[in-house]
A and B are shown apart, each in its own frame.
Chain A
Amino acid sequence: GAVVSQHPSWVICKSGTSVKIECRSLDFQATTMFWYRQFPKQSLMLMATSNEGSKATYEQGVEKDKFLINHASLTLSTLTVTSAHPEDSSFYICSARDSSGIGHIQYFGAGTRLSVL
């Protein structure tokens, strides 16, 4: 149980294009999902908290117009990196909190490695 699927696992795009990353909770409902960014040899940095049916809450310093988050259902959240630039290249990881279970545990997707040329 508690499986989170993230797609794609790896994407290469040209500078100026947009990239959408999907995060799905496969066997549980998640009213709250989280998006992280991880730089090499560093820990996870929370970008935003995604709430089903409402606007995402962004962490300080994260541009909401650049990193668009949509959480339209209890099992799906998407992160769209708009007008991507090489500095956006990173490892993006989503997590989901099981709404019905022990609320503190976040289950993570496998991550998406984004390379912007």
Chain B
Amino acid sequence: EDKVVQSPLSLVVHEGDTVTLNCSYEVTNFRSLLWYKQEKKAPTFLFMLTSSGIEKKSGRLSSILDKKELFSILNITATQTGDSAIYLCAVTQGGSEKLVFGKGTKLTVNP
């Protein structure tokens, strides 16, 4: 059965801390891995990763994929209260347009 597992499920940090969110996957015919941020409403797209070892970066957020070990990490440096959200990892497979989602990591950044 295809699955995407995120860890930790929840995380509480203080402003300024650096956090690393994990996503491991076991799917057939892997094509890409996507990270989304979900606040109170619907998810907003952060990154899409298809190649191993190439870091994607946007401001304080960065992500990398390891296709050999079947995982990805999402790093957030110098966290701010506005980073508080649920971070979702999803995987796509060849021949399918569906996203297979993990359960998400709930990040809380306290002032």
A residues whose Cβ falls under 8 Å from a Cβ of B = 2, 6, 9, 32, 34, 42-44, 46, 49, 93, 95, 97, 102-111
Chain B contact residues (Cβ within 8 angstroms of A): what range? 10 to 19
**Chain B residues whose C-beta falls within 8 Å of the C-beta of A2 in the assembled complex:** 45
Docked CA distance A102–B48 (Å): 10
**Chain A residues whose C-beta falls within 8 Å of the C-beta of B88 in the assembled complex:** 43-44
Let me know if B102 and A106 touch, CB within 8 A.
Answer: no
Known A-B contacts A104-B32, A106-B99, A110-B42; the reply to A43 vs B48 at CB < 8 A is no
A105 is contacted by which of B42, B45, B103 (Cβ under 8 Å)? B45
Contacting residues of chain B (85-107) with chain A, CB-CB under 8 angstroms? 88, 92, 97-99, 101-104
B residues whose Cβ falls under 8 Å from a Cβ of A = 31-32, 34, 36, 41-45, 48, 88, 92, 97-99, 101-104
**Chain A residues whose C-beta falls within 8 Å of the C-beta of B45 in the assembled complex:** 2, 105-108
**Chain B residues whose C-beta falls within 8 Å of the C-beta of A42 in the assembled complex:** 103
A-B pairs with beta carbons under 8 Å apart, 14 shown: A2-B45, A9-B41, A43-B101, A43-B104, A44-B88, A44-B101, A49-B97, A102-B48, A104-B32, A104-B48, A104-B92, A106-B34, A107-B45, A111-B41
Let me know if A93 and B42 touch, CB within 8 A.
Answer: yes
Docked CA distance A111–B102 (Å): 19
Instruction: For the A-B complex with A43-B88, A104-B31, A107-B45 known, give 5 more contacts whose Cβ atoms are closer than 8 Å.
Output: A44-B43, A49-B98, A104-B34, A105-B45, A105-B48
Docked CA distance A97–B32 (Å): 14
Docked CA distance A109–B43 (Å): 8
B89 and chain A: residue at smallest CB distance: A43
